[in-house]
Amino acid sequence: MSPNHRQSDVVNALRCFAIVFLLYQNVISQDIEPRRWSPIPLGTHVLGAGYSYTSGDVFFDPLLQAENVEIRAHSLVVSFVQPFKVRNKLASISLLVPFSAADWSGLLSGEPASVNRTGFADPRLRASLLLAGPPAGNALELQQYKLENPTYTTFGVSLAVTLPLGEYFEDKLLNLGGNRFVFRPQVGMIHYWGKWSFELTSSVFLYTRNPDFFNNAERDQRPTFAMQTHLVKQLRGGAWLSLSAGYGLGGQSVVNRQPNGDFRSNLLMSASYSFLIAKRQGLKLTYIRSEALQDIGSNTNNFILAWFISF
């Protein structure tokens, strides 16, 4: 085989696994988050830590000659939420910092190939505001409001910003960081009746340009639109159970103004169970199933164990 042919094979391999990695990032960004708009009492601080394991299959354009691609990813996440008051409205600000180790393996032109990345991914900062529902108050005031209003509806808006601080090398095609900002405006609601609640949230992901993509290229991405809904049952002792569904579409990538044809559409199904292990500490178990609805996409299983404490 000539040197030019060898170089061409290497470039094709990198391009294939870049698409796999971008598909993985797209699925992870479309999170499933029950109790997203639940009011947090003033004077409360919430610290959390979680571990997730993701595995599954990835599918993309057959012309790229990549087959039987599998992903295995381990992630650790630390989060902090601080509520505050805006006039008489409840608001909050949160920070999420992820660390990931991911492996991709499969066949490229019939030959085995694999990629591994370990490091910090891009952190996310989010500000939220409840426009309707209980007024800003401490834990006792919110409890009193719920007793007086067993049926009520909460509406909220938020803006999340993913910061380009994760591990990124412009001379590598695969990176845990995106080297770009991602803005995610979000609007949602919760309707409470007794021990039940129904939630609906819609989001749009807006991406800035990555001017330092691999091989001196520039990478853009079209917006991604997502929606998620949850049915939550409050149980005894502060425990709760939720069933969730989400849908996302869009997010086609564009390199040097050339669309990659990697339009995505995927469905997410999830179940979560949360319970207290101490007066102010709890655990949450979550399972998420992602199914690709296009020829390009991924089918993955995601298991999450999270711990949280309020103080």
Q: Bridge partners of 97?
A: 78
Burial category of 256 from C-beta neighbours within 10 Å (exposed 0-12, middle 13-18, buried 19 and up)? exposed
pLDDT attached to residue 306: 96
Sketch out the chain's domains with CATH numbers: 3-310 (2.40.160.40)
pLDDT attached to residue 126: 97
Residue 292 CA to residue 266 CA, distance in Å, equals 4
pLDDT attached to residue 152: 94
Residue 285 CA to residue 304 CA, distance in Å, equals 6
Pick the closest to residue 297 from 54, 13, 104, 57 (CA basis).
57
pLDDT attached to residue 23: 43
Distance between the two ends of the chain, CA-based, in angstroms?
64
Are the C-beta atoms of 179 and 167 separated by less than 8 Å?
A: no
Residue 281 CA to residue 301 CA, distance in Å, equals 27
Q: Which 8-state DSSP code applies to residue 34? A: T
pLDDT attached to residue 285: 96
Q: Which residues of the chain have pLDDT under 50?
A: 1-28
pLDDT attached to residue 62: 57
Residue 193 CA to residue 188 CA, distance in Å, equals 17
15-63 per-position pLDDT tens digit: 444 444 444 444 445 678 999 999 999 999 999 999 999 999 877 655 5
